[in-house]
């Protein structure tokens, strides 16, 4: 298992010059300032102990290659996204209306899940997410049926906004848009590692949130 994780960590960072994803410029500028970016999403809120732990991982990243990252995500923004809904630049025509429509559909679905047992998750590894951010991966614990429950929850929300496959993760840091050297990419790769920790996601902490940018979320 560890060999597989180490191989994945190694391959998630390119060996050559590192270029960030062009879409990142919607969320942060070339100086690393977080930009206005509006939307809504269905997320699991995290307990304080977990957020403390994530903050320490974040410090490791910024200590290794601070020039590669945008301004830090605030501790209170840490969450696990179950399903994204609608997002875009604030000036995008019809964005608010599409957000409101998705919110109403999502509310109807969440209202049916009050008695769902907690999801028992475990962290896997820190990795490069599509050249946009560094995230901490999560997977359901094999010892109960959390796999089945997580899939059921996600698939129900696919009827609101269809997306690709679910990749459970917690975002730790967004890159500062730009190009980085092989040496910088190597230092980042060395900062990534497997992480072993159990995380309980409670159904009462599953909420819809609106965001104004990647550092300002508000629970509906």
Q: d(Cα 89, Cα 216) in Å, to the nearest integer? A: 14
> Does 56 score more than 90 pLDDT?
yes
Q: What pLDDT, on a 0 to 100 scale, did the predictor assign at position 7?
A: 61
Q: d(Cα 153, Cα 216) in Å, to the nearest integer? A: 25
What's the fold here for domain 2-219? Cyclic Phosphodiesterase; Chain: A, (3.90.1140)
* Residue ranges of domains in the chain: 2-219
Q: What pLDDT, on a 0 to 100 scale, did the predictor assign at position 198?
A: 96
What is the token pair recorded at 15?
């060996």
pLDDT in tens, 193-208: 999 999 999 999 999 9
What are residue 173's phi and psi, to 5 degrees?
-165, 140
Confidence of residue 1 (pLDDT cuts 50, 70, 90): very low
Confidence of residue 2 (pLDDT cuts 50, 70, 90): very low
Q: What pLDDT, on a 0 to 100 scale, did the predictor assign at position 6?
A: 59
pLDDT in tens, 157-197: 999 999 998 989 999 999 999 999 999 999 999 999 999 99
Q: Can you give the C-alpha Rg of the chain in angstroms? A: 17
Count Cα atoms within 13 angstroms, Cβ side, for 54: 28
Which has the closest alpha carbon to 127: 24, 2, 3, 8?
A: 8
Q: What pLDDT, on a 0 to 100 scale, did the predictor assign at position 145?
A: 85
Model pTM score: 0.94
Question: What is the overall mean pLDDT for the chain?
Answer: 93
pLDDT in tens, 96-109: 999 999 999 999 99
Beta bridge partners of 122: 139, 198
Long-range contacts of 18-21 (CB under 8 A, 24+ apart): 18/131, 18/179, 18/180, 18/181, 18/182, 18/184, 18/185, 18/188, 19/131, 19/178, 19/179, 19/180, 20/131, 20/132, 20/175, 20/176, 20/177, 20/178, 20/179, 20/180, 21/130, 21/131, 21/132
> Does 83 score more than 60 pLDDT?
yes
CB 89 within 8 A of CB 38: yes
Q: d(Cα 135, Cα 126) in Å, to the nearest integer? A: 6
């Amino acid at each position: 298992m560890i060999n597989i994780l180490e191989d994945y960590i190694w391959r998630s960072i390119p060996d050559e010059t590192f270029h960030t994803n062009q879409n990142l410029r919607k969320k942060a500028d070339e100086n690393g300032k977080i930009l206005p970016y509006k939307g809504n999403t269905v997320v699991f809120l995290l307990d304080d102990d977990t957020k403390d732990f994530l903050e320490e991982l974040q410090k490791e990243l910024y200590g290794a290659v601070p020039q590669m990252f945008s301004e830090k995500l605030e501790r209170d923004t840490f969450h696990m996204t179950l399903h994204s809904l609608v997002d875009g630049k604030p000036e995008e025509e019809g964005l608010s209306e599409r957000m409101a429509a998705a919110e109403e559909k999502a509310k109807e679905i969440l209202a049916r899940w009050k008695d769902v047992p907690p999801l028992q998750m475990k962290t896997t590894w820190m990795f490069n997410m599509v050249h946009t951010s560094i995230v901490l991966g999560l997977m359901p614990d094999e010892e109960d049926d959390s796999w089945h429950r997580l899939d059921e929850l996600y698939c129900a929300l696919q009827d609101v906004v269809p997306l690709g496959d679910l990749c459970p993760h917690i975002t730790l840091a967004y890159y500062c848009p730009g190009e980085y050297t092989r040496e910088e990419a190597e230092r980042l790769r060395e900062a990534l590692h497997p992480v072993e920790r159990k995380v309980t996601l409670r159904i009462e902490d599953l909420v819809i949130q609106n965001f104004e940018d990647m550092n300002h979320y508000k629970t509906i």
